[in-house]
A = this chain, B = another copy of it.
Amino acid sequence: MLSTTPRTTLRRAKDRGRTSREDLYAVLDAGLVCHLGVVTGGSPMVVPTGYGRIGDTLYLHGSTGATSLRDADEVCVTVTHVDGVVLARSSFHHSLNYRSAMVFGRARRVEDAEERLAGLRAITEQLAPGQWDATREPTGKELAATMVLALSLAEASVKVRQGPPVDDEEDYGRPIWAGVLPLHQVWGTPEPDPALTWDLAVPEHIASRTMPAAGK
């Protein structure tokens, strides 16, 4: 079960709330970027960034010189998938079909070498499954320049909207088309780096990727 703290309890559209940890994992595991919210100088800042998950911990990384992460104390991480546009009979009831997850917590800077490496591996694998083992591992210098942050999934909420529009009763009789225009994400054809000096086939784990980071 997910948390029921004040900020993870839905006040509106309660029927869109999901409460199982599996729902949370599914939304997080299907994403490529999260939107990381931090407070700097009293103002909010929202930064798109990569992430990875191991069990009930989310990992983020950044340059040790990045201000958005250096100040990270309380953070909010949001992952959103847009699945379609909901076209209602009234402008008021237009909406999106989506899946989104919000995670609240205090980010912990990871110091342990083993956990740092595991976190970075999770972040790379979230972006491109199979690439950690297929490419050169980080050097000591690269590791020193990278900050790894861990965020517990203890306080999180999930919202999902799917299905046709919900119009006002008196609007169903109007001769206005209504429905859903689905939106899909699809991988294109892999584009080899022009600087490739070897005659290499596209690796199977890249060529066969069929959905954007769907599952792990």
Which A residues are closer than 8 A to B by beta carbons? Answer: 7, 11-12, 32-33, 35-40, 42-48, 50, 63, 65-67, 74-78, 80, 82, 84-85, 87-92, 94, 96, 98, 100, 102, 104, 120-121, 124, 127-128, 131-132, 134-139, 142, 146, 164-165, 167, 171-198, 200-203, 206, 209, 212
Q: Which residues of B contact A190 (CB under 8 A)?
A: 179-182
Q: Is the CB of B131 within 8 A of A87?
A: yes
A11 near B164 with CB under 8 A, answer no
Cβ-defined contact, A164 with B195, below 8 A: yes
How far, in Å, is A128 (CB) from chain B's closest CB? 5
A-B complex: 9 closest residue pairs judged by Cβ atoms: A182-B188, A37-B44, A37-B46, A35-B35, A90-B136, A46-B78, A48-B80, A178-B193, A164-B193
A165-B183 Cα distance, complex, nearest whole Å: 28
Check B179–A91 contact: CB distance below 8 A.
no
| 16 extra interface residue pairs, beta carbon distance < 8 Å, beyond A46-B78, A177-B192, A183-B212 | A33-B82, A36-B46, A37-B46, A39-B44, A45-B76, A50-B96, A87-B135, A90-B142, A94-B128, A136-B171, A164-B193, A164-B194, A167-B195, A172-B197, A175-B198, A183-B185
